[in-house]
Structure 1
Amino acid sequence: MTGQIRPLRFGVVAPITTDMPTWRDQLRGLADSGLSTVLMPDVPQWQPAPGPALAVAATITDLRVGTWVYASPVRPAWITAWEAHSLSVLTDGRFEMGIGTGRPGIADQLRELGLPLTPESQRWSQVRDVVTALRDLDGPDLHTPVAMAVRGPKAQALAAELADTVTFVMPQIETRAATTQRVQDFDNRRGAELALHVPVVGDSVAAFMAAPDTDPAAVRAADSLAFLPSDPAAAAEEIQRRREEIGFSYFVFGADAAGALAPVVAELAGR
């Protein structure tokens, strides 16, 4: 990591898990909260496609919108890049492309969809192809921010080269010390923004951000950074600690936790 201290910002993963009017009302409730970004997962079986959903979201609020995250094996690289570039244009530059190689079990999903089973060793080449095509489409006058969800050395090397934002894919019961070491080992000489995916807030597990059988007590007991307390004062203290000690400045949690953490966002966003 670098010594750069970035201002704090906050994103919410807001999947469409109810009817459309309820989802629209949820987004309107987020509009003036101090949040940075409304984020959409990429899970074909469970909800509408992220691109159209984010285009609608961008008309409901003035917040930034983004994918959290595109699964690279699910669609051809150029199509992903075209959609991302188009979202940047349609939102006047408010779109952020999150991308990774897919959730655990992506091979089963590809079989169900009748798509090629890209070997895991080749999936980061697909991500590179997406970013390369996106930069060509953006041209010299537009830069769509790219967030990469990374795990192993190959993924981290690509993110160190190309990503604007990096989030680390880690076991939800990984200890604070192990995550800290993971970040310290990352070659961040370019000063990419470091994002933390936080699926557990208090006793709640965010939809689409963790497995349904996730045990909040076990995550909390592990001193895992996948957990934040629901008490606003404790959460604010913990967020600032994670930035000062590790370098995380972008915190992503579920939309259902936005109410509990609203005082935190209001106090810390942009600081």
Structure 2
Amino acid sequence: MADRLFRFGVVAATARGADEWTALARRAEDLGYATFLTPDTLDTLPPLPALSAAAAATSAIGLGTFVLSVANRRPEQLAWEVDGLSFLSGGRFELGLGAGRPDAERDAARLGVPFGTVDQRIRKLEEVIRQVRTWHDSTKAPSAGADRAGAGGTGPRVLIAAGGARMLGFAARNADTVALGLPPSTTEDGLGEPVRLVRQASDDFDRLELSLGLHVVGDEVPPWLADKMGPDLPPDSIAVLNGSPRQMADRLLRRRDVHQISYITVNAMYADRLAPVVDLLSGA
């Protein structure tokens, strides 16, 4: 990723029916987004079947998990299913992984699987990545292509979500994309330290793609999101992008110039609103 070209992803979690779900995926593709992504919670669609349906309804957009909680799955079984989805999508699948968001322990309890300690979950994360790449090599699945293949050109691209110093270091050493999981109160200047930690831990920083999610595009914050983000966001919160399309694009360009962040994700509710920025910056 030495050139750090912009990519944009849409995160969609649920729909009122199958037709609406596949229409969301097609809409993201038509708007020029690079990826259509799904979270991993028991309150949303199961990510791998949902992405399989999206794959059948689209032809070019990348498809990814954002992100799978490794505590909920056996590494070997996940590797098998990932390999199948990579095959069925024609190599468009990108594997997003995490060691467990704060409320992921509740989901693990409902599924009857141990959540584990931080150490155990990081070891499992490492094993999942090893199994996915080994399974891909052993089955000789169709290549994902130079634009989507993971490190070393084997298996799907791997994204790891990370916020703390330890996980940022792990992601820097093991991922193709590091998704910075930072509080909405983080400012533009606050991006400096996590990016420094990633750079310090990586033996090939230029290879890495850095990702950041937008919580809000525009000036209106939905009430349910306002509660989650807190009442006192700084004016330069990294979670909010507003202004004209050109102003928003310029802010993302400055962010890339200073912090090397080039992969931007946004909730599906803002896909149309961000589309003019996607049009200005995709591939730039």
TM-score above 0.5:
yes
Q: 4+ residue runs of structure 1 moved beyond 6 angstroms?
A: none
Alignment of structure 1 residues 186-205 onto 2, 5 Å: 186=198, 187-190=201-204, 191-203=207-219
Q: Determine the C-alpha separation between the residues in 2 that align with 1:199 and 1:16.
A: 17
| Equivalent position SS for 1:249 | strand
Deviation at 1:151, TM superposition (A): 2.1
Per the alignment, residue 83 of structure 1 pairs with: 81
| Equivalent position SS for 1:155 | helix
| Length-normalised TM-score, structure 1 | 0.90
Is the Cα–Cα contact under 8 Å of residues 230 and 260 in structure 1 kept in the other structure? Answer: no
Q: Determine the C-alpha separation between the residues in 2 that align with 1:52 and 1:40.
A: 10
| Equivalent position SS for 1:253 | strand
Per the alignment, residue 166 of structure 2 pairs with: 154
Per the alignment, residue 147 of structure 2 pairs with: none
| Equivalent position SS for 2:270 | helix
Q: Determine the C-alpha separation between the residues in 2 that align with 1:136 and 1:47.
A: 29
Is the Cα–Cα contact under 8 Å of residues 174 and 222 in structure 1 kept in the other structure? Answer: no
Number of residue pairs the alignment of both structures matches: 265
Q: Determine the C-alpha separation between the residues in 2 that align with 1:121 and 1:211.
A: 31
Deviation at 1:222, TM superposition (A): 5.0
Structure 1 gap segments, 5+ residues each: none
1:145 aligns with 2:157: yes
Q: Determine the C-alpha separation between the residues in 1 that align with 2:111 and 2:247.
A: 44
Deviation at 1:74, TM superposition (A): 1.0
Per the alignment, residue 61 of structure 1 pairs with: 58
Is the Cα–Cα contact under 8 Å of residues 11 and 253 in structure 1 kept in the other structure? Answer: yes
Alignment of structure 1 residues 191-270 onto 2, 5 Å: 191-203=207-219, 213-215=227-229, 218-219=232-233, 221-229=234-242, 231-270=244-283
Deviation at 1:215, TM superposition (A): 4.1
Deviation at 1:256, TM superposition (A): 1.2
User: What amino acid is aligned across from residue 251 of structure 1 in structure 2?
Assistant: I
Q: CA 1:192–1:234 in structure 2 vs 1: closer, same or farther (change >3 Å)?
A: same
1:213-256: CA deviations, max 9, x gaps? 2347633x252212211631221111111111100011011111
Q: CA 1:154–1:216 in structure 2 vs 1: closer, same or farther (change >3 Å)?
A: closer
* Aligned with 1:180 (options 183, 192, 198): 192
Q: Determine the C-alpha separation between the residues in 1 that align with 2:46 and 2:280.
A: 33
Structure 2 gap segments, 5+ residues each: 144-153
Deviates more, 1:52-61 or 1:148-157: 148-157
1:86-138: CA deviations, max 9, x gaps? 11111111000000012212222222322213112221111100000011011
Is the Cα–Cα contact under 8 Å of residues 210 and 260 in structure 2 kept in the other structure? Answer: yes
Q: Determine the C-alpha separation between the residues in 2 that align with 1:108 and 1:47.
A: 14
Q: Determine the C-alpha separation between the residues in 2 that align with 1:173 and 1:185.
A: 19
| Equivalent position SS for 2:51 | helix
Q: Determine the C-alpha separation between the residues in 2 that align with 1:121 and 1:85.
A: 26
| Equivalent position SS for 2:97 | strand
Per the alignment, residue 107 of structure 1 pairs with: 105
| Equivalent position SS for 1:218 | coil
Deviation at 1:58, TM superposition (A): 1.0
Q: Determine the C-alpha separation between the residues in 1 that align with 2:243 and 2:20.
A: 23
Deviates more, 1:153-162 or 1:241-250: 153-162
RMSD over aligned CA atoms reads 2.3
Q: Determine the C-alpha separation between the residues in 2 that align with 1:268 and 1:217.
A: 31
Q: Determine the C-alpha separation between the residues in 2 that align with 1:255 and 1:117.
A: 29
| Length-normalised TM-score, structure 2 | 0.86
Q: Determine the C-alpha separation between the residues in 2 that align with 1:217 and 1:234.
A: 24
| Equivalent position SS for 2:95 | strand
Q: Determine the C-alpha separation between the residues in 1 that align with 2:26 and 2:257.
A: 32
